[in-house]
Amino acid sequence: MLILRSLVFQILFFLNTIALMMIWLPAMPMRRQINQELGRTWGRTNLWLLDKICGTKIDWRGLENIPKGALIVACKHQSIWETFVLPIRFPDFSYILKHELIWLPFFGWYLLAAEQIAIDRAKGGKLLPQLIAKSKKIFAQGRQLFIFPEGTRRPAGAPPQYRFGVAHVYAATETPVLPVAVNSGLFWPRRSFIIRPGTVVIEFLPVIAPGLEPREFFDRLTSEIEEASNRLIDEAVAKDSSLAAIVAKGRAKAAAPRTEREAPES
């Protein structure tokens, strides 16, 4: 039954994505906020499908911690799940994403129309001045910038691998940072076909104000996100002990040589 439900969802997930992009075509030349609404609609419909088909629900926590205006949203990244959930709660957002995505037909065009930031991750630190300049422009417009500080999805429970780039953006732009914790990797792990029932929690933590030294900020951000995410994982495992195997597998996967980590997860 788990495999069947996951299969039905995956099919409808892609059909939903294609259908929304077709419906939204007349809006593509319009202002970015209209195209961003496509992202929010995509997120809401995906959450509905997850709930009705897979029994995978959502628990929003800490919504009172979300301030208005310019903001860096630094989120733990365990699953594709948070990529379509985050836009739902923010009025004028921009993602930092790999530039390969903008070459995808329709999907990439919408990313450009919604004024997202595409970067070539292969250039590493050489991109930092450009990224900071684009971030300052976004913040001057009162927008929110989504950053996954680890740069890629990490298995639930795996040791963190945060990158220092978020600290550079924080210090150079003097913008508050909203840390975000999740346990999504327990229910929809990276590279996984199977989606498990249960409640995915996304928790918005208290804002870190501007003014800290980059290293102090980085250590605080890492500690707060990891402690909260581990707490959410422990909560879920306490309710459903079968999820402990997902955590163990994620830790083993993270510790394995790179060639082994390339294999898809089940």
For 172-187, the pLDDT digits (tens) are 999 999 999 999 999 9
Number of domains in the chain: 1
User: Mind listing the pLDDT tens digit for each residue in 14-59?
Assistant: 999 999 999 999 988 888 888 999 999 999 999 999 999 999 999 9
> Within a domain: residue 219?
yes
pLDDT confidence band for 118 (50 / 70 / 90): confident
Cα distance from N-terminal residue to C-terminal residue, the chain: 15
Instruction: Check residue 262 and give its pLDDT.
Output: 46
Question: Residue 253 in contact with residue 157, Cβ under 8 Å?
Answer: no
| Whole-number Å distance between alpha carbons of 184 and 243 | 12
* SS3 state of residue 160: coil
Report the predicted TM-score, pTM, of the whole model to 2 decimal places: 0.90
Sign of CA dihedral 191, 103, 73, 199: negative
**Residue 260: pLDDT above 60?**
no
Q: What is the CATH number of the domain that holds 122?
A: 3.40.1130
> Within a domain: residue 266?
no
Rounded alpha-carbon distances, angstroms, from residue 56 to 2, 47, 63, 126, 142: 12, 8, 20, 40, 33
Instruction: Check residue 263 and give its pLDDT.
Output: 46
* Closest to 197 measured CA to CA, from 41, 12, 52: 52
> Within a domain: residue 251?
yes
Residue 239's CB: how many other CB atoms inside 10 A?
10
pLDDT confidence band for 135 (50 / 70 / 90): very high
pLDDT confidence band for 90 (50 / 70 / 90): very high
Which residues span the domain enclosing 79?
Answer: 2-261
